Structure 1
Amino acid sequence: MNLETYPDRDLMMLRLADLIAGQLGDFLRREGSATFSVPGGTTPGPIFDTLSGVDLDWANVAVVLNDERWVPESSDRSNTRLVRERLLRGRAAQARLVPLYAPAETPEEMLEALADGIRPHLPISVLLLGMGADMHTASLFPGADRLEEALAPDAPILMALRAEAAGEPRVTLTAPVLREAFNIHILITGTEKRAALERAMTLSPQEAPVRAVLDNATVHWAE
């Protein structure tokens, strides 16, 4: 794990947006396409705001969420809704959003179809993750019902998990998909999450799921 610390959050967001833009640009020039996997929540919003105005070949960028709550985009708890509002506007409106939700009562009904949509865009070029104070990342929550399967080397691309801390059922990219990304960035803020990060380094992925990706990641932290 590589840890980058910043004197304040604003500077961290600007520098990380610049780094991500550079890495996506490298892939676009070299491969002609790129895949950018992003978290939900409000923390990465400033990064998305900056990236939405960057001059990239967005038409050849596939945007894939790390995870999604099993709610429609009309819900204020939808990660898809947040990404559309903060990232997929301005110049970045040309990017292709690969869905992690489809209308159905349960995620299990749609997992195979959703995974088929993701498969052509793997491996991920640039992966941006968050981490909770409980050391979860994506929707890999400690104590989730199928966490061990989602952490396994032979896990499928996408799984449905349920956990007390998660609220709704979730769909999530699994540990091997996250771990195989070419560039992995984890964004955290505050002393509580810095302490959680240090604790995660001493635990197993079953206890601290973020541990599954830390070895290959750069963690960006500001108090």
Structure 2
Amino acid sequence: MNFIENADRDMAIMNVAHALTSDLRKCLLRHEFASFAVPGGTTPGPVFDAMSSVEIDWSRVHVMLTDERWVPEDHARSNAGLVKSRLLTGHAANARFISFYRDGMTAQAAAPDVSAALAGEMPISVLLLGMGADMHTASLFPRAPGLKEAMARDAPLLCAVSPPDQPEERVSLSAQALDGAMDKHLVIFGDDKRAALERAMTLPALDAPIGAVIKGGTVHWAA
């Protein structure tokens, strides 16, 4: 795991955006398309803003989420809505977005269909992750219902999960799908998250899911 300490959060955002677009460019030199998996939440928004103005061949980039709340894309808590408003604008508006949400279906019912549709996107070319202070990543929450299945070696690409403290049902890329990404990046801010990440590397995966997927990746940190 490569750990990069940035002078401040603004510098981290610019460095992460540069690293991600560089990885996408390199992938497009070798492959027909690049699959790019990204999180929701507040941290990646500024990274998306910076990336959307960069000129690469976005028409060959396939953007998907690492996880999604099971709500329509026009819902205020939709990760898809965030990605479309912050990343898929400017030059990046030409990227293809792969939606997980299926109207009229539960997450549990839709997950196998979405998993099948994602098979051609694997392995993920470039992955951006976030992490909570509880050491969750994507929607892989420690000891949550469905986590064991999502962490299994034979897990489907997309799994339905139901974190007990979250208001909606969710879907998440499985640990195998995340860990298999060719280029992996994690962005975290604050001393509490740095300490949580260091602790995660000493714990079982079911207690600290981030530890199962970030090995071999790059961590971008700022206070």
What is the CA–CA distance in structure 2 between the aligned matches of 1:165 and 1:133, rounded to whole Å?
15
Alignment of structure 1 residues 54-73 onto 2, 5 Å: 54-73=54-73
CA drift of 1:148 comes to 1.0
Residue by residue over 1:6-36, the C-alpha shift from the partner in whole angstroms, topping out at 9 and shown as x without a partner, is 0100011101111111110011111121011
| Count of residues in Structure 1 that have an aligned counterpart in Structure 2 | 223
Residue identity matched to 2:215: D
Aligned to 2:75: 75
Aligned to 2:148: 148
CA drift of 1:144 comes to 1.2
Do the aligned residues in 2 keep the contact of 1:104 with 1:110 (CA within 8 Å)?
no
Do the aligned residues in 2 keep the contact of 1:98 with 1:117 (CA within 8 Å)?
no
Do the aligned residues in 1 keep the contact of 2:112 with 2:156 (CA within 8 Å)?
no
Do the aligned residues in 2 keep the contact of 1:36 with 1:127 (CA within 8 Å)?
yes
Structure 2 length as normaliser, TM-score?
0.97
- 2:165 alignment partner, SS class: helix
Do the aligned residues in 1 keep the contact of 2:157 with 2:177 (CA within 8 Å)?
yes
Residue by residue over 1:133-172, the C-alpha shift from the partner in whole angstroms, topping out at 9 and shown as x without a partner, is 0000000001211111111111110100011233311100
CA drift of 1:112 comes to 2.0
Q: Once structures 1 and 2 are overlaid, which stretch shifts more, 207-216 or 174-183? A: 207-216
User: Is 2:187 the partner of 1:187?
Assistant: yes
Q: Once structures 1 and 2 are overlaid, which stretch shifts more, 165-174 or 85-94? A: 165-174
Cα RMSD, aligned residues only: 1.0
What is the CA–CA distance in structure 2 between the aligned matches of 1:22 and 1:165, rounded to whole Å?
37
Aligned to 1:46: 46
What is the CA–CA distance in structure 2 between the aligned matches of 1:40 and 1:180, rounded to whole Å?
20
Q: Once structures 1 and 2 are overlaid, which stretch shifts more, 7-16 or 96-105? A: 96-105
- 1:163 alignment partner, SS class: coil
Q: Once structures 1 and 2 are overlaid, which stretch shifts more, 18-27 or 210-219? A: 210-219
Stretches of structure 2 lacking an aligned partner (at least 5 in a row): none
Residue by residue over 1:67-89, the C-alpha shift from the partner in whole angstroms, topping out at 9 and shown as x without a partner, is 00001111110000000000001
Percent identity for Structure 1 against Structure 2: 50
What is the CA–CA distance in structure 2 between the aligned matches of 1:34 and 1:8, rounded to whole Å?
30
Stretches of structure 1 lacking an aligned partner (at least 5 in a row): none
CA drift of 1:105 comes to 4.5
Aligned to 1:14: 14
What is the CA–CA distance in structure 1 between the aligned matches of 2:142 and 2:205, rounded to whole Å?
9
- 2:138 alignment partner, SS class: coil
Residue by residue over 1:70-116, the C-alpha shift from the partner in whole angstroms, topping out at 9 and shown as x without a partner, is 01111110000000000001110110111111112411221122122
